[in-house]
Chain A
Amino acid sequence: MILLKDGQVYLSDKKKFEKADVLIDKKIVKKIAPNIEESKAEIIDCTDKHIFPGFVDLHCHLRDPGYTYKEDIATGAVSAAKGGFTSICCMPNTNPVIDNVSTLNYLMRKARDVGKTKIFAIGAMSKGLEGKEIANIASLVKGGVVGLSDDGNCIQNAKLQLNVMRYGSIYDIPMICHSEDYSLSGDGQVNYGYESTKLGLPGIPTLAEEIMVSRDIMLADVTGTHVHIAHVSTKRTVELVKQAKKEGIRVTAEVTPHHLVLTEKACEDYNTNTKMKPPLRSEQDRQALIEGVLDRTIDVIATDHAPHSDYEKELEFIKAPFGVIGFESAFPVVYTELVKKGIISLELLIDKMTARPAEIIKRDVGLLTEGGSADITIIDLDESYIFDEDEILSKSKNSPFIGKEMSGRILYTICDGKFTWKKA
């Protein structure tokens, strides 16, 4: 048994904080109440600390199988645990692609063996992510995927995307859309606008996202499928999603920590760790994203943890791959830049990193309640520190936040009643 004493506990059912103790027995939260006495328990003093439900990440890349020089299931799980995550959903762009049950089984088995973090798989929409034929969706769903996505390989053919949604609509799982029109994004490297002009790099217009989001929303409407828009990056996308929700279309949306706190200005030094898709946008877009989080147009904050090795990123900007890691910086970054500055509430941030993503994948995680699973993260909100490259546990170090000062130290992560991270 583990007894967490005197912490500020986020009660998921009430969506608010109370000072209490939390008693964990095996995999279950046995009791949440003040002044619990339990002589047999390992006691963790949580005075002045916050006790949250373990975070749930809707969007990450674990690179396993196929690209284990970037990350593997074990290092990904450990990195996630260090970031306070207890459940993560990984994208299918591995090699082989998660478009078949045997690859899915490999992933699930390895995830179980590692154990550190609950890993949920997202299956491919199209075979081989090639955008040509529908993947074996029924088999994948039966095998346990929590969503479908061709993330990073957006299906350009509208008819195929329509049929994927139609075919998959009977399973009631989210279709996660990385909405990008490749004819518009082309060889773009950074946001089309001020910085693309200044840096002399080809730009990716916001339109590349917005035109596809419009399509995907229409397809959601027509098919009745739940469409989840991945990593929203533009003002107009926020407006499109807002309007769709108003019309009752089944659309949800996520935003990444980096799009919430950084703008295209971060690319000025040609730092390849600021290169990702969608690209960092303008300040106006960033403000709209925050607005979307506040008015609940944007449901979820998801990392899009995308590891790339140093020798892939230590290249000319144009040659470097898109993507940044995110598990270990997600909470502190958003906490520091948005909560601490009074822009969004801590409760809202927790909701978007726990209950909301869990609702979207329809899994019983991300809630801190009596009788619920003991998935917990304990954080010292006041501790400030420099985000140090040497402390990153992911196999890859491609973070735009290296060297930045942040608050919110993740002290412990508990998954299924077991410590998966302890800050030494």
Chain B
Amino acid sequence: MKNTLNLTGRNLYDLDDYSVEEIETIFETAKVMKEINKRDYKKIPTLRGKTVVTLFFEDSTRTRISFELAAKRLSADVVSFTSAGSSVKKGEGIQDTVYTLNAMGVDLYIVRHSCPGVPKLVNKYSGKPVLNAGDGRHAHPTQALLDMFSIWEKKGSLKGLKIAIVGDILHSRVVRSNLIGMKKMGANVVVCGPRTLMPPKIDEVYGAQCVYDLDTAIKDADVVMALRMQLERQTEGLFPGLSEFTNRYGLSKKVIRSAKGDVLIMHPGPMNRGVEILPEVADSDHSIIIEQVTNGVAIRMALLFLILGGKPEREVA
């Protein structure tokens, strides 16, 4: 496998500090990992003796399980920390939580927190590499990597593709990381949603096109990604209700028709069937939503492998 770039010891806060070549290295490695995941015996010994902590201050099922499986398949020891039922509930702050865990000998932290910037804080207190598993609405780089990897696998490259991302852009960390990564890989990204759910200056910050009309967004798109719409935005006065949202921004068979014939339909999950995406689209041949989940494990294995300094040729192949 190609593995020319050394990512040992790196942090992954977001994709802005990763180059195109580095992202491609991650993809190439993920491809190998994906093969391993198809084996009967889904385990390699590369990270034997390494300890990885999943430090989750916010609820998550798929991301945490995906990371845990990834670490276990590389033979690392995994400890799961969730703030529910921990000393955080007794008032322990993040600084002391990290000091405590670090004193037990941790090699890498996987962090999810509702407040942006916390992964960096964990690195500051631990001195150990940190993988951001989602910090508030700021970033979710491993999700973006698996999204991009899924497209890359199907299309060969992201260069020149039109990718439409639809829904609650304002509160989405998935969008932010994808905008940085997809732009870097040469795609043209269009974001689309109600104006009240659009962050300010998104075009200026990310070089993305921003439209409020779904048909414009989807026309000739190579990829369409729906985002989870959360009902509580209604009580926050940001949009009137789910049915109007679904009528205007829900992905149905009919609206998808104006996209390219081989359009890929994606969703970072968890899905609200019948809200941002109708089952007829989610379960269609165009949908790669389930494969995204499969790829998530491979991408996370690749990252752990590269960052914790696995030796490629000898042990993987």
Residues of A at the B interface (CB closer than 8 Å) are 192-194, 196-201, 203, 269-270, 311, 314-319
Within 8 A of A (CB), among B158-217: 173, 176, 199-202, 204-205
Task: Report the minimum CB–CB distance from A76 to chain B (whole Å).
Answer: 26
Are B138 and A200 neighbours in the complex by a CB distance under 8 Å?
A: yes
Among the listed stretches B22-30, B115-123, B291-299, which one makes contact with chain A, having 4 or more residues with CB under 8 Å of it? B115-123
Interface of A is mostly: loop
Does B255 lie at the interface of the complex (its beta carbon under 8 Å from any beta carbon of A)?
A: no
Nearest residue, chain A, Cβ from B171 = A200
Nearest residue, chain B, Cβ from A191 = B200
Q: Could you say which of B113, B120, B135, B200 contacts A196, with CB atoms under 8 Å apart?
A: B200
0/1 interface trace, chain B 107-139, chain A, CB 8 Å (1 if under): 000000111111011000000000000011111
B49: A residues at CB distance < 8 A:
none
| 22 sample A-B contacts, Cβ–Cβ < 8 Å, listed by A number | A193-B200, A196-B200, A197-B201, A197-B202, A198-B205, A199-B117, A200-B116, A200-B136, A200-B137, A200-B173, A201-B136, A201-B137, A201-B138, A203-B200, A270-B120, A314-B93, A314-B95, A316-B118, A317-B115, A318-B114, A318-B116, A318-B136
A201 to B117, CA, bound (A): 9
Within 8 A of A (CB), among B199-247: 199-202, 204-205
Q: Could you say which of A193, A194, A311, A317 contacts B116, with CB atoms under 8 Å apart?
A: A317
Nearest residue, chain A, Cβ from B202 = A197
Assess A270 versus B116: contact at CB under 8 Å? Given A199-B138, A314-B95, A316-B94. yes
Are B200 and A200 neighbours in the complex by a CB distance under 8 Å?
A: no
A132 to B32, CA, bound (A): 66
A121 to B304, CA, bound (A): 58
A311: B residues at CB distance < 8 A:
93
Interface of B is mostly: mixed
Most buried by A among B113, B136, B202: B136
Most buried by B among A196, A198, A317, A318: A198
A196: B residues at CB distance < 8 A:
199-200
A315: B residues at CB distance < 8 A:
93-94
Task: Report the minimum CB–CB distance from A296 to chain B (whole Å).
Answer: 32
Task: Report the minimum CB–CB distance from A346 to chain B (whole Å).
Answer: 37
Nearest residue, chain A, Cβ from B170 = A197
Task: Report the minimum CB–CB distance from A310 to chain B (whole Å).
Answer: 10
Nearest residue, chain A, Cβ from B114 = A318
Are A197 and B95 neighbours in the complex by a CB distance under 8 Å?
A: no
Task: Report the minimum CB–CB distance from B197 to chain A (whole Å).
Answer: 13
A61 to B94, CA, bound (A): 28
Are B115 and A316 neighbours in the complex by a CB distance under 8 Å?
A: yes
Nearest residue, chain B, Cβ from A317 = B117
A192: B residues at CB distance < 8 A:
200
Most buried by B among A196, A203, A319: A196
Assess A197 versus B117: contact at CB under 8 Å? Given A315-B93, A316-B94, A318-B136. no
Are B202 and A200 neighbours in the complex by a CB distance under 8 Å?
A: no
B201: A residues at CB distance < 8 A:
193-194, 197
Assess A194 versus B115: contact at CB under 8 Å? Given A200-B137, A200-B176, A270-B120. no
A317 to B95, CA, bound (A): 13
A315 to B121, CA, bound (A): 8
Assess A194 versus B117: contact at CB under 8 Å? Given A200-B138, A200-B176. no
Task: Report the minimum CB–CB distance from B309 to chain A (whole Å).
Answer: 27
Nearest residue, chain B, Cβ from A270 = B117
A200: B residues at CB distance < 8 A:
116, 135-139, 173, 176
Task: Report the minimum CB–CB distance from A234 to chain B (whole Å).
Answer: 14
3 tightest A-B CB contacts, nearest first = A200-B138, A270-B117, A316-B115
